[in-house]
A = this chain, B = another copy of it.
Amino acid sequence: MYYKRTMGDDEGVSVQAIATTFEILETLRDRDGAGVTELATEVGVSKSAVYNHLSTLSALGYVTQENGRYRLTYGFLQLGLAIRERSPLYTASKSALQTLARTTNETVNLVVPEGTHGVYLYRVGGDEHPIPEGGQLALHASAAGKAILAFWDATRVKEFIEERGLPALTDGTVTDPAALRDQLRSIRDRRVAFDRGEQIPDWQCVASPVVVEGDPIGAVSVSGPADRMRGKRLEEDTTGLVVSTAKSIEISLLESDGRTNTV
């Protein structure tokens, strides 16, 4: 029995126990609770190992056991929200996004780049979005992602494409580098990006980037099911509102921010 892990992704992982713990935690997140045996087979370690991890996490307050099943506690909410709260972009955007959600009557997202993917940092005005708040998204296949990519310099975009490729998430996903670059140029000029089912079928999206000192620290997007995001007037109006909201966030960031760092 001597394959070490289920998968060989131990690149740079020097403390195995941590990798195991997070595999357990992620499984608990995805299944909304689980038992020891279940986790042991899923993660690929012995029952007693899982038990040790769980009891440790439980002693630390990150996991609870109720009626035989283990589940994550809100300790992770404390970790996650604390980081978000420290983001100047988030605090500067929040109320403007709420207003935008109310006037458009659609789901409004704040997306930030992290590494080579995007994160839904905040959402307001709807719960029907397929990717949950806090979840990740592909930068090349979403309006918000493209709005961010548009303000990266060419070499960085090149590296991004080389590293991640342009996998097709739907029929509409832009998979050709040249086509993507064309779009990015126009997005940079107009400050608007669109997504018509490139990320999720029948899901449309308008986004505008928030750029501080040339750096796209995030993007505001409005999204909804394709059948509701129709009509020229509405579309144009929404687009205008998204752009002006993003712009006003930029301005309020410049005002407040003398030396604090961005994002």
Contacts and interface: CB of A to CB of B under 8 A. Distances in A.
Given A79-B76, A79-B80, A12 B132 contact: no
A56 interface: yes
Interface residues of A, number: 54
Interface in A59-99: 59-62, 64, 71-74, 76-86, 91, 94
A103 B163 CA distance: 49
A10 to B, nearest CB: 8
Interface in A79-127: 79-86, 91, 94, 112, 114-115, 119, 121, 127
Contacts of A82: 29-30, 132, 134-135
Nearest to A87: B74
Interface of A: 11-15, 17-19, 21-22, 25-26, 29-30, 32, 52-53, 55-62, 64, 71-74, 76-86, 91, 94, 112, 114-115, 119, 121, 127, 132-136
